[in-house]
Amino acid sequence: MKTQLILQSLIFTIIIGFAFTTAAQDTLFVDDFENGTGNWNITNDGGDCVWDVIELESRPYTMPPEAVGWGMTADSDICGSGTTLLSTATMNIPLDLSDYWVVWIEFDNDWRTIGPADEAYVEISNDGGNTWIEVLSWIGIDQRETHEIWDVTPYAAYQSDVRFRLRVIQPGWDWWWAIDNFAVFGEYTFPPNAPSDLIAIANAPGQVLLNWEDNSNNEAWFNVYRKIGDSLSVNQYYFIGYTWENITSYVDTTVLDTTLYTYKVRAFSDYGGRSAYSNQAEVLTLIPVELTYFEGDVVDGNIKLIWATSTETNNLGFNIERRQTSNVKRHKTWNKIGFVQGHGTTTEPQSYSFIDESILSGSYQYRLKQIDYDGSYEYSNIIEVEVGIPTEFSLEQNYPNPFNPATIIKFTISDLRFTILKIYDVLGNEVATLINEEKEAGIYEVEFSATGIPSGIYFYRLTTVDPSTSLPSVRQGSRLGFTATKKMIILK
């Protein structure tokens, strides 16, 4: 390569790269045409003459001083009167510029025209010559005795197959286009070291946590790549995200459940340097807690809830929550009424049930709050169960029995009744009055606390009568209603 060209290239590098202490320059291609046109494919595009190599001093070219010896020319004047010169010189050496963040071309030039129909083009392809992009053009105007420097970074940087071509249109007996010292330069930065010790952990359904070791002090960010399958699969890697410098973890929330993925990470510097890839890390994403059904029904005056899962991961269990369909504000709030233990992690189907005994007539809504061991949770769909009006009166055995200090008494009323519920000792003495009022039809329960009452056998009596019956009759135990008595034991 000629001495002057080297000097100018170094000056250009200083101009564009003086601030980048980690940058360096490469000469990627140079042709001074001393050995002919072997680096170029010359085509005739329909004229009488084509590009050729000629000794520059043999023609009246006006070139920069460094253009000496042989050059490549499209010289219509040599071809003579009546000549048409339509020709293209295409570089036949593909350039791999994958590691270069700045790319430019330089050449010595003499373009002499006769009229507006004379056209000169420098074009670039970054897809192996399938498509071409114009870098520069001179149409109908002279461009003489110049050393051209043109930035082609937008089209050439990080491309793996770059080629250039010189295309000229001289439709008559015109002048010439003379080229010498055509060169391609690229600037790269010293790449960061490759990250290492990449691990991938499926720490929750629909989520993968990545961690790796940072082995550089000049990276600006990390790119994260993922493919489906194991590390040996032929599936393509795709970019899925990035982290900034010194951040060596990434959470991928775009994964599918129960799927095998492989990851790798790469570091990048500010000025285009790229590290090698990290090791590959495989991970099988988790099985979620998949609810297959959730149903409820009235059984013996209670509501029985049943549900099942097809798979579970880290399932601590289920909170059972209930609210009543009502216009009363306090009934619209979800309340926890129970908890059922889960099965942790399993691929086997599991069945669950829960009985809600603390209900009256009305409409109820239920939902499950599935809770993981790490505290994360997810709600099920909402189901609704209707508890109808009972068709008969009944008084159930208290529970628990014997008891200390409290027990629950449950009873049903089939229509509007004045209702009295009292506690008596074995001598018939009244101990407590629990209810003494009108009650709508429904299922009821009431708590009786025996605090301050000695151990022993006691009786509780339910009396219900038509509200139209006189109060004295009720107090005297009218036979027009329902009466039932059961025994309970206080054991302290």
pLDDT above 60 (res 232): yes
Confidence label for 472 from pLDDT (cuts 50, 70 and 90): very low
Residue 265 neighbours by CB under 8 Å, 6+ apart: 195, 198, 210, 212, 222, 223, 224, 225, 250, 277, 278
Do the first three CATH levels of 3-189 and 290-387 match, i.e. the same topology? no
Give the model's pLDDT for residue 477.
42
If you search the block for the tokens 């074995």, which residue do you land on?
426
Bigger pLDDT: 478 vs 381 = 381
Quick one: CA torsion of 258, 262, 265, 266, rounded to 10 degrees?
Answer: -140
3-state class of 11 per DSSP?
helix
Confidence label for 406 from pLDDT (cuts 50, 70 and 90): very high
State the amino acid at position 133 in one-letter form: I
Mean pLDDT of 53-76: 96
Confidence label for 21 from pLDDT (cuts 50, 70 and 90): very low
Give the model's pLDDT for residue 331.
55
pLDDT above 90 (res 490): yes
CATH of 196-284, one of 1.25.40.10, 2.60.40.10, 1.10.3090.10, 2.40.50.140: 2.60.40.10
Give the model's pLDDT for residue 414.
83
pTM, entire model: 0.45
Concatenating the DSSP letter of every residue in 141-194 gives: S-EEEEEEEEE-HHHHTT-SSBEEEEEEEE-SS--EEEEEEEEEEEEEEPPPPP
Q: What are the residue boundaries of the structural domains of the chain, listed by start?
A: 3-189, 196-284, 290-387, 394-490
Confidence label for 465 from pLDDT (cuts 50, 70 and 90): confident
Model confidence over 108-135: pLDDT tens digits? 999 999 999 999 999 999 999 999 999 9
Q: What is the topology classification, in CATH, of domain 290-387?
A: Immunoglobulin-like (2.60.40)
3-state class of 402 per DSSP?
coil
Nearest to 415 by CA among 365, 468, 348, 366: 468
CA-CA distances (angstroms) from residue 457 to 143, 150, 402, 406? 120, 107, 9, 14
Domain at 3-189: CATH architecture: Sandwich (2.60)
Model confidence over 296-309: pLDDT tens digits? 998 877 899 999 99
Give the model's pLDDT for residue 204.
78
Q: How many CB atoms lie within 10 A of CB 65?
A: 9
Confidence label for 375 from pLDDT (cuts 50, 70 and 90): confident
CB 350 within 8 A of CB 326: no
pLDDT above 90 (res 228): yes
Give the model's pLDDT for residue 16.
39
Determine the CATH number of domain 394-490. Answer: 2.60.40.2550
